[in-house]
Chains A and B, each alone.
Chain A
Amino acid sequence: SQTIHQWPATLVQPVGSPLSLECTVEGTSNPNLYWYRQAAGRGLQLLFYSVGIGQISSEVPQNLSASRPQDRQFILSSKKLLLSDSGFYLCAWSGQGPASWETQYFGPGTRLLVL
């Protein structure tokens, strides 16, 4: 069966510090991968998605970046965090088909607080 991992689970970082969040998927190959952010009490905002190694599409211009160095690894990074980067970061995976009919499965999330 497929499993998706995210770490760390919780992170408190000062403004201006760098960020690296990691997501890995087990039990499948060639998945589509996604990064979402959820502000407190709000909906899911798609940040990045990837359909293959090294292929990243950005949805929201901001100080975050994503990379996919391996087939089942997705990394979210920032060089300098802003207060507005605080939130709940969710990684998700789906099969290789179109997003319209592929189920997205979410990881446990990373709660980031920027102070």
Chain B
Amino acid sequence: QQPVQSPQAVILREGEDAVINCSSSKALYSVHWYRQKHGEAPIFLMILLKGGEQKGHDKISASFNEKKQQSSLYLTASQLSYSGTYFCGTGRGSSNTGKLIFGQGTTLQVKP
């Protein structure tokens, strides 16, 4: 049950804000966010555990609403370096099942 990300793609100008959503039809224990540049490995951004917490990293933050089974990634005052494909990975339990299920990705392009 792959989580669904929206939008599929977004184009911004430098300095604009963006929100990327990740929704699941199953109960979630955690949400992991990654960014991938073309041809490179995904880079870890942050993990959110159930409890409705919100995290921030520089101008990138995220929230996790376990009741709604969704997470949102907020990018404020976007920079050219924010361009890439963003993936959410969802974890469903606290046992070591070894699995994260990743969404299909959201492509973000920041233009000067």
Contacts and interface: CB of A to CB of B under 8 A. Distances in A.
A95 B100 CA distance: 14
Interface string B57-99: 0000000000000000000000000000001010111111111
Given A90-B42, A106-B41, A100 B105 contact: no
Contact of A104 (B29, B100, B103): B100
Interface stretch (A44-52, A61-69, A76-84): A44-52
Interface string B101-112: 111110000000
Given A42-B104, A43-B102, A104-B32, A99 B44 contact: no
Range for the number of chain A residues in contact with chain B: 20 to 34
B30 A101 contact: yes
Contacts, number: 74
Given A43-B2, A43-B104, A34 B98 contact: yes
A32 to B, nearest CB: 6
B2 A103 contact: no
A103 B32 contact: yes
A46 B95 contact: no
A104 B44 contact: yes
Contacts of A96: 96
A46 B100 contact: yes
A28 B30 CA distance: 24
B99 A46 contact: yes
Contact of B40 (A50, A98, A108): A108
B12 interface: no
Interface string A83-111: 00000001000001111110111111101
A77 B30 CA distance: 31
A108 B41 contact: yes
A100 B93 contact: yes
A30 to B, nearest CB: 12
A90 B30 CA distance: 22
Interface of A: 32, 34, 42-46, 49-51, 57, 59, 90, 96-101, 103-109, 111
15 contacts: A43-B2, A43-B103, A43-B105, A46-B99, A49-B98, A96-B96, A97-B96, A99-B91, A100-B91, A100-B92, A100-B93, A103-B44, A104-B44, A108-B40, A109-B41
